[in-house]
Structure 1
Amino acid sequence: MYMLKGMNEALHYIEENLDGKIDLKEVAKRAFCSEYHFKRLFSLLSGITISEYIRRRRLTVAALELKDTSARVIDIAIKYGYHSPDAFSRAFQGFHGATPSLARNPEQSLKAYPRMAFQLTIQGGVEMKYRIVEKEAFNIVGVKYEVEMVDEILTPAYEEMLTAISDKTMKELASLSDKEPYGIVHASVNYEEDEKGRATFNQYIGAVMTKEVLGAYSSLEVPSLLWAIFEVDGEWTQVEEQWQRIYSEWLPSSSYELAEGPEILASQDQKSEIWICIKKK
């Protein structure tokens, strides 16, 4: 509940400052967490980056102002963070499907992106099997991808990343796994967002191993961290559902918060584990 209160305080601050400067460090401070923690948590819970959320909210209230007032387009553009009418017009048309001038027409349809609020919901009382473990440093060796996410779409997509790795390579990596988390692991690290709502991160698909492996593989050094490890039975759909539940149900009601570090999915023998690094609040 403490985390949810902080997240909603952060959203209130954003709402109060849509027509001014929004300092993401201050936003994170309102949520009682680091800027990295807030950006990652917001993206995982909402499905969009915080920068994209702010952009959509600003374009929503800008459209209302265009319809309800006689203010000049250039004044509204500057008010909501655009340095030129052209930049505002492009963004406005991309979101609403109409230019700012057409938006004044009473018959013109526009989009609205409502203000968000975070809530803790109880859904079915489904058990979550997890353990809290402090692990010494380890290495993940495998194939590395530079991944970009724009408008909730990953480039390259996970399917493209996986199909690009040959069966021979996957079997070789799986056979080299000799340390927990066992099996093929998918590790996401170095998550960043820019002001335009574009998110980037590095994706490693490989295995945790103690052997020195020669060849064209990349290596990710994971420092000693405290981990919450969740067991998952089932296909990818169940994995996605469990991942969402971790951030929307388990984390808000726990005494932990996210720590900066990799997010890991490990799969072996039709079973999966989700590893997230945490720290005490």
Structure 2
Amino acid sequence: MISALNQLVDLVEEHLSEELDVGRLAGSLGTTEYHLRRMFSSLAGMPLSEYVRRRRMTLAAAEVVRGEGDLLGIAVRYGYGSGEAFGRAFRAVHGAGPGDVRRDGGPLRTQPQLRFRLTVEGSTPMDTRLVDRPAFRLVGHAVRVPLIHRGVNPHIQEHIASLPLSEHQRLKDLGNTVPEGLLQVSDDVDPDGREGTELTYLHGVAVSGDTPVPEGLDVIEVPAGRWAVFRTSGPHPQALQSTWAATATEWFPSNPWRLRPGPSAVSVLDRTDDFTTATCELWLPVEPG
């Protein structure tokens, strides 16, 4: 995976003025575009699309400062059809328009070319098992919320708090398969993992594929497949979020598995009354890498 990411970075440099065919590269490397994008954003700390924009604007800024041709010509060279679109992208990266930078020589914010390296530190113990599951359903109450990487997501908190206590118990009684208990389900997540993009959050339980679903509940159909299950314990949600991050930085680069599209789920096995400490299982859909 580290080699694949570095080849992706090289491809970005070769085609900064063109649309990237990430799917074709992923196929040639024996992986998928979905997994490649998810791993890139997790390890680089930014979506692939943002990295491409920053690199384009880094090189474009050098041409702007050197006075190499008119601004529209530079815009076209870096894949922008108009000076206005180029100006917006330039300002978003550098904090000033290209005309101002040409006149004043700055400000400039440079994005160096990335290079991925694997450092095995064992800083995060990975208590993991692999589970094959037949098709099942995730049922409960779903809502669209923005993606927030760190800390508690207030939109999810508000959604859960809006449900009466009796509904939590009704869902618990409905669940009849693994993952067990009340689940925190994330689905339809942006492959680039961009902060603020919307995802579907479902507060619910897992049921077998033939279980009748009561009216008024949302359903996510989950096909048969393999899952990597990571057990976490400690301060919540920090321990869970640290383990989630470590799946990208430590587990996937060291194991012959890759993410496949589908929902992920967190099962809370035990927690304190104030939910500041918890033992959880993180379920991620995987396939051979």
| Alignment-derived partner of residue 287 in structure 2 | 279
Which of 102, 105, 124 is equivalent to 1:104?
102
- Partners of 2:205 and 2:195 in 1: CA distance: 31
| Alignment-derived partner of residue 255 in structure 1 | 256
The amino acid of 1:215's aligned partner reads: E
1:90 Cα shift?
1.6
> Residue 205 and residue 113 in structure 1: after superposition, are their counterparts in 2 closer, same or farther (change >3 A)?
farther
CA contact (8 A) 1:257 1:280 kept: yes
CA contact (8 A) 1:190 1:201 kept: yes
1:88 Cα shift?
1.0
- Structure 2: give runs of 5+ residues left out of the alignment: 272-278
Taking structure 1 as the reference length, the TM-score comes to 0.87
- Partners of 1:192 and 1:31 in 2: CA distance: 22
| Alignment-derived partner of residue 159 in structure 2 | 164
CA contact (8 A) 1:6 1:32 kept: no
1:158 Cα shift?
2.7
Matched length: 274
Deviations 1:42-68 (A, max 9, x none): 223333222222112212221122112
- Partners of 2:219 and 2:35 in 1: CA distance: 24
Asked if 1:92 corresponds to 2:93, the answer is no
- Partners of 1:60 and 1:33 in 2: CA distance: 29
CA contact (8 A) 1:73 1:85 kept: yes
- The residue matched to 1:91 in structure 2 has which SS? helix
The amino acid of 1:231's aligned partner reads: R
- Partners of 2:42 and 2:168 in 1: CA distance: 28
1:262 Cα shift?
1.9
1:148 Cα shift?
4.7
Asked if 1:4 corresponds to 2:5, the answer is no
Taking structure 2 as the reference length, the TM-score comes to 0.85
- Partners of 1:36 and 1:187 in 2: CA distance: 19
- The residue matched to 2:180 in structure 1 has which SS? coil
> Residue 199 and residue 51 in structure 1: after superposition, are their counterparts in 2 closer, same or farther (change >3 A)?
farther
> Residue 172 and residue 112 in structure 1: after superposition, are their counterparts in 2 closer, same or farther (change >3 A)?
farther
Residues 165-204 of structure 1 mapped to structure 2, 5 A cutoff:
165=160, 166-168=163-165, 169-192=167-190, 199-204=197-202
With 115-124 and 251-260 compared, the bigger mean Cα shift is at 115-124
1:126 Cα shift?
4.2
- Partners of 1:5 and 1:65 in 2: CA distance: 31
CA contact (8 A) 1:49 1:198 kept: no
- Structure 1: give runs of 5+ residues left out of the alignment: none
1:11 Cα shift?
0.9
The amino acid of 1:98's aligned partner reads: A
1:13 Cα shift?
0.8
> Residue 198 and residue 89 in structure 1: after superposition, are their counterparts in 2 closer, same or farther (change >3 A)?
farther
CA RMSD of aligned residues (A): 2.6
